[in-house]
Amino acid sequence: MAGASKNSRTTVATQKFMCPDCNAEIIMKTIVDNGRIKNIAECQGCKRVERRPKDFK
């Protein structure tokens, strides 16, 4: 009767995003701005900042 919990059954998949301009990796950062938490995507090569990795296209 005691099965695995729902959280233990999920798989963790990491995805690498690449910048179309400079082919560098895009990393996600979490910053605190004015007391609020914001997630931003930043390119390692050209230092371009967007809201999410999909916005780089």
Q: Which helix (H) or strand (E) holds 7?
A: helix 6-9
Structure tokens at 29: 């950062």
The structure's pTM equals 0.64
Over residues 1-57, the pLDDT tens digits come to: 567 777 776 666 677 889 988 989 999 999 998 999 999 999 999 999 999 888 888
Contact 55, 42 (CB under 8 A): no
Distance CA 52, CA 19 (A): 12
Please, which residues bridge with residue 27 across strands? 42
CA 35, distance to chain mean position in Å, is: 21
